[in-house]
């Protein structure tokens, strides 16, 4: 059935139901019985001897007016009282007691009206218990025929509930389809929110899933939504081209809800692209130890620039400056006087600090390093860096979402290791995890140091000491095998490649071969090495550029560019810097806005810093392979950011 026919059928059914029957939840039962609560409920938090009518009056007015969970104030039977009491507890925010009461009822023995209430309440309860799959089982299972006589407001709420659960279970297209179906039934204010929610779902859809639906016969509005989403997926890394394609789509679909009311993220992107700089100054190191990284960033930026130019897009003029060619503040003044209205760089951390210290900075800057913004900050400076702290926090979130609760950490000595370890610890403890031990290893192993630290991490020494103490007490030889601590769920590793290659065999040798290791990209070598066999099984966060098949990567390798291997991440950073310029205003306008770049999923935090979410990969036989279902782990805020219809 097409979407249009389905909508007409629904409207006809609802009109007939409204004309012919009273609200089904108020039907009296055929068999009268005592209006009492079941036995054994004396430990509940409310007096179960009181009438439902009294208990309902104690609820806030907005809860009493719930569309799906409607109270029958005068239940005729014990089972009816139990069901209404379960609703009361749900509306009070006590899903566990709701579940307890529902378990007392025999679903198959209930009248149809009570079965309907039972199913709706169970679906709402499962969602409140963070079990969207369980909620969907009630809403899409064998009981769907019970929903045929729901009123129009209830049908709308039911579809929204299904949509929310589809979103939470990773089915964004199904979620969008539910919302698109009910859109004509909403009032104007609800439609505004619904457009934003549909677009938020479709942005998360996999390109392959969208392509698979191309050409499938469906309602025009649904088809047009899918076309818009596919345009976004095709051109999301080229915002200028995307905006042009959106304008073409709007002209072809002038009466579509999203054409009349462009989703906020696309409207902000359009506004951002329309006000681009006319001249960009790239201030990067051309001499010294950072000249190689500086050249890689410049090459990546120019790759994006010339691609846009070859596609016929308007591009700004470029000017290049050596960040070590004098006082960085004077270089900035020189760039502004030469006509620059935007700056990319500098790259060195000390140079970024000097730029941030400039009062009344006359130009916006995308700095390519990160500083401690609690010490110094400048509103005109946005910081974009391949910060390992972002990776450490992502590892913590990923581990927590996978059920891990107890961690140990290995990191190098020095300021880099301190920053990464602190970021991991802060995020892990904020989530509620326990960090039982951290080992800071030196740059080089003397043949004994790494082994001693691995044994310390795993409490092997304590195990051996216990055996020694037992021998001393009994006075005879006692056979024992050293044991590692058993409470570890995983080991966080943020070290250099050579260190990781030494540590993994030592961990295996010390009985820790079954403990998962989650690592930052620092363990991934920039040059090919047969020794990476030792890293097999380790899970790593890595930038998409190094994991996805890319024609540009293949071309660079074919050209034999040595710096591609050494500075691949910085090349990807330069490419992302090009694409970030027209999107900074858009990212700044919405804390939920994201750009899926070559260095990860990028967002602008409240400190004016670009944060990254990377892809997950696993070492398999010495090679790094993307993990299936690879989506960066979003923060808790992002996971709970779905708009709510008013």
Residue 263 domain flag: no
Domain-embedded: residue 269: no
Report the relative pairing of strands 615-620 and 609-613 from DSSP bridges. unpaired
Torsion from C-alpha of 428, 431, 435, 441, nearest 10 degrees = 0
Q: Is residue 411 part of a domain?
A: yes
Does residue 3 contact residue 219 with C-beta atoms inside 8 Å?
yes
Q: Tell me whether residue 78 is exposed, middle or buried, using C-beta atoms within 10 angstroms of its C-beta: 0 to 12, 13 to 18, 19 or more.
A: middle
Contacts 24+ apart (CB under 8 A), 447-454: 450/499, 450/502, 450/503, 450/506, 451/506, 451/510, 453/410, 454/503, 454/506, 454/507, 454/510, 454/512
**Do the domain assignments include residue 438?**
yes
Predicted confidence at residue 149, as pLDDT, reads: 87
What single string gives the DSSP state of each residue in 138-149?
Answer: HHHSTTGGGGGG
The answer to whether the CB of 209 falls within 8 A of the CB of 226 is: no
> Is 44 a member of any domain?
no
Those residues with Cβ within 8 angstroms of residue 292's Cβ, 6 or more apart along the chain or in another chain: 563, 566, 567
Condensed to tens digits (0 to 9), the pLDDT of residues 157-195 reads 999 999 999 999 989 999 999 999 999 999 999 999 999
Q: How would you class 117 by CB atoms within 10 Å of its CB: exposed for 0-12, middle for 13-18, buried for 19 or more?
A: buried
What does residue 490 show for φ and ψ, rounded to 5 degrees? -165, 165
DSSP H helices, 103-238, are 112-128, 132-140, 152-168, 172-182, 188-203, 207-213, 220-235
**Structural contact between residues 71 and 29, judged by C-beta atoms closer than 8 angstroms:** no
Q: Which CATH number characterizes residue 635's domain?
A: 3.40.50.2300
How much of the chain exceeds pLDDT 70, in percent? 82
Residue 279 DSSP SS3: strand
Q: How far apart are CA 297 and CA 182, in angstroms?
A: 48
Distance separating alpha carbons of residues 646 and 633, to the nearest angstrom = 29
Mean per-residue pLDDT of the chain: 83
Distances (CA, A) of 646 to 163, 186, 535: 16, 10, 52
Residue 117 has pLDDT above 70, yes or no: yes
Question: Coil, helix or strand for 381?
Answer: strand
Q: What's the confidence (pLDDT) of residue 558?
A: 57
Q: How confident is the model at residue 55 (pLDDT cuts 50, 70, 90)?
A: confident
Candidate from 72-76, 328-332, 442-446, 494-498 with smallest mean pLDDT? 72-76
Residue 469 placed within a domain? yes
Q: What is the pLDDT of residues 426-481, one digit of tens each?
A: 999 999 999 999 999 999 888 789 999 999 999 885 644 444 544 444 455 545 45
pLDDT at 453: 93
Give the structural domain span for 447.
389-542+614-639
Model pLDDT for residues 370-391, shown as the tens digit of each residue: 998 776 778 899 999 999 999 9
- Dihedrals phi, psi of 344, to nearest 5 degrees: -105, 120
pLDDT tens profile 80-104? 888 988 888 888 888 888 888 899 9
User: Quick check: is 525 in a domain?
Assistant: yes
Q: What is the DSSP letter of 405?
A: -
Quote the pLDDT of residue 551: 54
The pLDDT, as a whole number, for residue 386 is 95
- Vertex 405, ends 611 and 484: CA angle to 5°? 120
Lowest mean pLDDT segment, chosen from 21-30, 139-148, 399-408, 540-549: 21-30
User: In angstroms, rounded to a whole number, what is the distance separating the alpha carbons of residues 623 and 603?
Assistant: 29
How does residue 107 score in pLDDT terms, banded at 50, 70 and 90? very high
Cβ neighbours of 588 (radius 10 Å): 14
Return all residues near 221 (Cβ < 8 A) that are at least 6 apart: 3, 180, 183, 256, 257
**CA–centroid distance for 67 within its chain:** 31
Tokens 């403990």 belong to residue? 515
DSSP SS3 for 204: coil
- Sign of the dihedral defined by the CA atoms of residues 45, 49, 55, 58, in that order: negative
Report d(CA 168, CA 161) in Å as an integer: 11
- Computed on alpha carbons and rounded to an integer, the radius of gyration of the chain in Å comes to 30
The predicted-structure confidence for 406-425, as pLDDT tens digits, reads as follows: 999 999 999 999 999 999 99
In a domain, 49, yes or no: no
How buried is residue 554: exposed, middle or buried, by Cβ count under 10 Å (0-12/13-18/19+)? exposed
Count Cβ atoms below 10 Å from residue 510 Cβ, excluding itself.
16
Q: Can you tell me the mean pLDDT for 331-342?
A: 95
* pLDDT given for residue 161 in this prediction: 94
| Total tally of structural domains belonging to the chain | 1
> How far is CA 188 from its chain centroid?
30
pLDDT for 36 equals: 59
Contact between 316 and 281 under an 8 Å Cβ cutoff? The reply is no
Higher pLDDT, 533 or 461: 533
Query: By the 8 A CB rule, do 622 and 615 touch?
Result: no
pLDDT at 528 over 50: yes
pLDDT tier, 118 (very low <50, low <70, confident <90, very high otherwise)? very high
Q: Which residues contact 610 (CB under 8 A, 6 or more apart)?
A: 382, 383, 384, 385, 580, 587, 602, 603, 604
Can you give the length of the chain in residues?
Answer: 646
């Amino acid at each position: 059935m097409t979407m249009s026919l389905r909508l007409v059928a629904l409207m006809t059914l609802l009109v007939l139901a409204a004309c012919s029957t009273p609200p089904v939840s108020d039907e009296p039962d055929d068999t009268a019985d005592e209006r009492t609560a079941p036995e054994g409920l004396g430990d509940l938090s409310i007096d179960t001897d009181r009438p439902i009518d009294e208990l309902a009056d104690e609820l806030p007015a907005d809860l009493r007016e719930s569309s799906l969970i409607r109270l029958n104030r005068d239940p005729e039977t014990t089972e009816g009282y139990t069901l209404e009491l379960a609703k009361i507890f749900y509306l009070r925010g006590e899903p566990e007691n709701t579940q307890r009461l529902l378990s007392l009822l025999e679903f198959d023995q209930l009248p149809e009206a009570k079965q309907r209430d039972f199913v709706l309440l169970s679906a709402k309860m499962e969602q409140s218990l963070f079990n969207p799959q369980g909620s969907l089982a009630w809403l899409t299972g064998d009981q769907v025929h019970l929903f045929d006589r729901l009123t129009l407001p209830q049908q709308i709420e039911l579809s929204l509930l299904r949509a929310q659960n589809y979103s939470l279970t990773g089915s964004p297209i199904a979620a969008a389809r539910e919302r698109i179906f009910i859109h004509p039934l909403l009032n104007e204010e609800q439609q505004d929110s619904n457009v934003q929610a549909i677009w938020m779902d479709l942005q998360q859809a996999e390109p392959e899933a969208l392509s698979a639906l191309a050409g499938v016969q469906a309602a025009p509005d649904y088809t047009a939504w899918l076309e818009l989403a596919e345009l976004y997926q095709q051109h999301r890394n080229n915002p200028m081209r995307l905006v042009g394609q959106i304008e073409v789509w709007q002209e072809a679909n002038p009466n579509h809800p999203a054409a009349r009311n462009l989703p906020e993220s696309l409207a902000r992107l359009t506004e951002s692209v329309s006000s681009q700089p006319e001249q960009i100054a790239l201030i990067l190191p051309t001499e010294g130890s950072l000249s190689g990284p500086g050249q890689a960033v410049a090459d990546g930026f120019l790759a994006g620039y010339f691609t846009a130019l070859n596609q016929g897009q308007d591009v700004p003029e470029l000017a290049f400056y050596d960040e070590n060619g004098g006082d960085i503040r004077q270089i900035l003044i020189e760039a502004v006087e030469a006509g620059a209205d935007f700056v990319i760089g500098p790259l060195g951390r000390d140079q970024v600090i000097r730029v941030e210290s400039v009062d009344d900075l006359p130009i916006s800057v995308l700095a390519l390093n990160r500083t401690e913004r609690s010490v110094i900050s400048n509103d005109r400076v946005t910081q974009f860096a391949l910060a390992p702290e972002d990776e450490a926090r992502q590892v913590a979130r990923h581990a927590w979402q996978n059920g891990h609760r107890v961690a140990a950490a290995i990191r190098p000595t020095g300021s880099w290791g301190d920053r990464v370890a602190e970021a991991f610890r802060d995020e892990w403890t904020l989530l509620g995890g326990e960090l039982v031990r951290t080992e800071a290893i030196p740059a080089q192993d003397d043949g004994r140091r790494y082994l001693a630290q691995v044994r310390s991490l795993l409490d092997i020494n304590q195990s051996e000491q216990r055996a020694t103490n037992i021998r001393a007490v009994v006075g005879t030889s006692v056979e024992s095998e050293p044991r590692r601590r058993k409470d570890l769920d995983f080991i966080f590793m943020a070290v250099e490649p050579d260190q990781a290659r030494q540590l993994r065999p030592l961990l295996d040798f010390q009985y820790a071969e079954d403990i998962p290791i989650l690592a930052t990209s620092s363990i991934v070598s920039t040059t090919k090495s047969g020794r990476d066999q030792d890293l097999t099984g380790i899970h790593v966060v890595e930038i998409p550029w190094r994991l996805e098949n890319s024609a540009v990567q293949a071309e660079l390798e074919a050209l034999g560019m040595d710096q591609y291997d050494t500075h691949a991440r910085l090349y990807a950073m330069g490419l992302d810097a090009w694409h970030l310029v027209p999107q900074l205003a858009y990212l700044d306008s919405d804390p939920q806005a994201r750009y899926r770049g070559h260095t990860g999923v990028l967002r602008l935090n409240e400190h004016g810093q670009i944060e990254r979410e990377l892809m997950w990969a696993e070492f398999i036989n010495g090679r790094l392979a993307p993990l299936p279902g690879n989506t960066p782990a979003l923060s808790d805020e992002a996971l709970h950011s779905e708009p709510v219809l008013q």
